[in-house]
A and B are shown apart, each in its own frame.
Chain A
Amino acid sequence: MTDSFDPPYPNYDILRKWDSPSYNQITRDVLTERLTAVPQRQFLDEQEWRLLQAICDQLVPQPERTDPVPITPFIDAALTENRTNGTRFAGIPAMREAWRKGLAAIRAEAMAQHDTDFVSLDAHRQEALLHRINDGDAEPAHWDGMPAQRFFRSVLLKEVLAIYYAHPAAQSEIGFGGPAAPRGYVRMGADRMDPWEAPADRRNR
């Protein structure tokens, strides 16, 4: 399952359009900050940070990248600012507490199952452990009343994906058009594309 990812648009990079009318000023500002000012650890302690990083490596593995898309720093930054997402599902505490509790529970799951820290488990075991939580088979005793699957899907995984797929590298890998203001698109039909979009999917050529 952890075999590698075969990109359909290998040479496409939305950042090459940077100086074109596909980027307005605010988009450039937002992306410049995201790409150059990766936040430092502030909210999580060192142990939590390393654990979260290991979890993120399973949720979005990027073995082929020398410079992986950073995820943990943006989660930490959101927690530092005490950001919320508008929904607190029953049984899930306020954001900061939910993340602390969730990380502690995942650590406890690893300890109980393998007698070792999650971070020291091999990739297969880490992945299997997270799958169990995702599939609703977590051990409630470790979660202190918090619904494990709900936390995993609605808090943890959602946030990780929101950060990963907002990154230009991730958008390039799926052939997304990327930023598009003020210039949008002209060719709307199937298999038709503007010169400033990704060229045709390699697999279809």
Chain B
Amino acid sequence: MPLVEHLSPRAIAGRAPDVFRHGGWVPMREYGDDEEVDFTIVGTGAGGGTLAAKLAEAGFSVVALDAGPFWRPLEDFASDERHQDKLYWLDERISEGNDPIELGGNNSGRSVGGSTVHYQMVALRFRPEWFRSRTTLGYGHDWPVDWRRMWECYAEVEDALKISGPLTYPWGPKRGRYPYREHELNASAEVLARGCEELGVDWSACPTATVSARRGLSPHCVYRGFCKIGCATNAKQSTLNTFIPRALAAGAEIRDLSMVTRVETGADGRATGVVYQRDGQVRRQRARHVVVAGYSIETPRLLLNSASPKHPDGLANSSGLVGRALMVHTNHAVWGRFQEEIRWYKGPPSLAVCEHWNYADDEKDFFGGYAYMSQGPLPTDFAKTLAESEGIFGTELRRRMADYNHMAGLKIVGETMPQERNRVELADETDRYGVPLARVTYSMCENDRQLADHSLEFMRNALSAAGGQELFQSGGTAHLMGGCRMGFSREDSVVDGDGRSWDVGNLWICDGSLFPTGGGVNPSMTIMALAVHIADRIKTLAGQDAL
């Protein structure tokens, strides 16, 4: 697979790749580095890519930069796990703490479209109470955004991605119909359904960000099952093939392979633009507003690396909270062998979901919740899980892998508590851009462990009720949240409910690092919904001359 430093930018000379056509191009508006644009956005993933489209459509001039390449899925994505490593942020980061987290392909993308290029498309909403979890549930922090507002934003995002989902969803307040009909269940999803029915809890076809019928230039999902390493069909609705084309059509410029190393500030402390490296050159983009959307590790890293005399502890960091309260989802799983052949490599990996334990408050003795989904890991992914959790290798491992087609599994997305000791800092060592490496520290707390233990016991029962044998379990984490939380005051948070820095009035954050709490569902819908919310607020503020 190509190394990112050997690739050349594609989005140049007034055109950008057409993600829907082999070798195709679409026209792209370009801005000079010295031209002061309204917004420059660092990162084009779930948060940044969505915001770029919304702001450009509102008439703002936008330049969005991403450290990663601009792919054309049809011609660039191979059916090969090793080759597709090219989608991930593989630069070294130091991982410490009592429960150090795996980074890279486990939770960090580097492409135009960000981590959504390889997300597994599980498209869930937060439970309403989680936006006030301190007040109503007694843990974590409240969010400075009302759940009803978020509900509107979710609906907009679900329509923008034409989420395929069930007619009625068993948990939470009533929601509208999903835009596209639900997918057929694969055998692995049927295992989840059987287990739930045996144990008497609800299950549902999973709302999924891949289309169940043709949508414009996106063909329907062909159930090839390689979603986690990029969808070569373009059925998956990622930021790359939804909001990015919209952003380009509305006049935004997308600069691929552009690594931002610093946000610059003037003598008055306000942001003036960004310094970035593209094609071996150091450049500057001037802007009236800077948005940082690099996700929970790169966003704090960039802010900390942008210290200046006015901002000695890093930009936007008077609270000392930049990089703090980083969260993950626990990703514990139970696996079992079935007599029949499941062949879980077919279809999106998680076509069925159980959110029972996100809602059943009275039946549990820990804070937070979890959802669990059916699974379909690709071969190398599953081999690694087997080796790690069973402590095996050699002929024994090969023999166990021979049951690949008979396996099914249930895996949680488990809420962890925001703890300020879990954090991102700058290490002494620098990378090839001269930026200090991120040092990531993570330790679970007692509540996190209780939640994981509870889930393992429940899923063991569910999987064996469904007919699974020779059960074994695995641990691990997924997703990143927090690190620059939004809040109610300059003391309790890095940004306000609009994503605007308390310290620097023209600096914004728009990505997963905003999360005050993690919730027990996959984060991307909530990140996109926040981007929709922030874009609307920016429009409103501009209308009031309050930008």
Binding site for B on A (CB under 8 A): 1-8, 22-27, 29-31, 58-61, 81, 83-90, 94-95, 127, 130, 134-135, 153-154, 157-158, 161-166, 170-171, 173-193, 197-198, 200-201, 204
Q: A58-B393, A162-B82, A190-B187 are in contact. Are A185 and B340 (CB under 8 A)?
A: no
Residues of B contacting A29 in the complex (Cβ-Cβ under 8 angstroms):
78
A184 x B394 contact (CB < 8 A): no
B10 at the interface (CB under 8 A from A): no
Q: A59-B394, A166-B80, A190-B340 are in contact. Are A201 and B384 (CB under 8 A)?
A: no
B401 at the interface (CB under 8 A from A): yes
**CA of A171 to CA of B298, assembled, Å:** 36
Residues of A contacting B76 in the complex (Cβ-Cβ under 8 angstroms):
26
Mask, B78-115, CB within 8 Å of A = 1, is: 11111100001111111110001111111010000000
B77 at the interface (CB under 8 A from A): yes
Residues of A contacting B222 in the complex (Cβ-Cβ under 8 angstroms):
180-185
B186 x A60 contact (CB < 8 A): no
Residue of B74, B343, B391 touching A177 (CB-CB under 8 A): B343
Residue of B77, B105, B398 touching A5 (CB-CB under 8 A): B398
- Interface contacts (Cβ under 8 Å), in number, total 214
Please report which residues of chain B, range 219-245, place their CB below 8 angstroms from some CB of chain A when the two chains form the complex. 221-226, 232-233
B92 x A94 contact (CB < 8 A): yes
Residue of B90, B106, B380 touching A161 (CB-CB under 8 A): B380
A86 x B388 contact (CB < 8 A): no
**CA of A3 to CA of B187, assembled, Å:** 32
Residue of B93, B185, B221 touching A88 (CB-CB under 8 A): B93
A165 x B92 contact (CB < 8 A): no
Mask, B60-84, CB within 8 Å of A = 1, is: 0000000000000011111111110
Point out which of A4, A5, A6, A84 has the most chain B C-beta atoms below 10 A from its C-beta: A5
B405 at the interface (CB under 8 A from A): yes
Please report which residues of chain B, range 371-386, place their CB below 8 angstroms from some CB of chain A when the two chains form the complex. 379-380, 383-384
B184 at the interface (CB under 8 A from A): yes
Residues of B contacting A135 in the complex (Cβ-Cβ under 8 angstroms):
391
The distance from the CB of B397 to the nearest CB of chain A, in whole angstroms, is 7
Residues of B contacting A84 in the complex (Cβ-Cβ under 8 angstroms):
90-92
Number of chain B interface residues as a range: 35 or more
Mask, B1-18, CB within 8 Å of A = 1, is: 101000000000000000
**CA of A11 to CA of B79, assembled, Å:** 22
Looking across the interface, which residue of chain A has its beta carbon closest to that of B22?
A: A25
The distance from the CB of A39 to the nearest CB of chain B, in whole angstroms, is 13
B396 x A185 contact (CB < 8 A): no
A86 x B399 contact (CB < 8 A): no
B203 at the interface (CB under 8 A from A): no
**CA of A198 to CA of B406, assembled, Å:** 13
B92 x A4 contact (CB < 8 A): no
The distance from the CB of A68 to the nearest CB of chain B, in whole angstroms, is 12
Contact sample, A vs B, 18 pairs, CB 8 Å cutoff: A24-B232, A60-B394, A86-B92, A86-B106, A87-B102, A87-B104, A90-B94, A153-B388, A154-B102, A166-B82, A175-B343, A181-B233, A184-B222, A185-B223, A185-B225, A188-B187, A190-B341, A193-B341
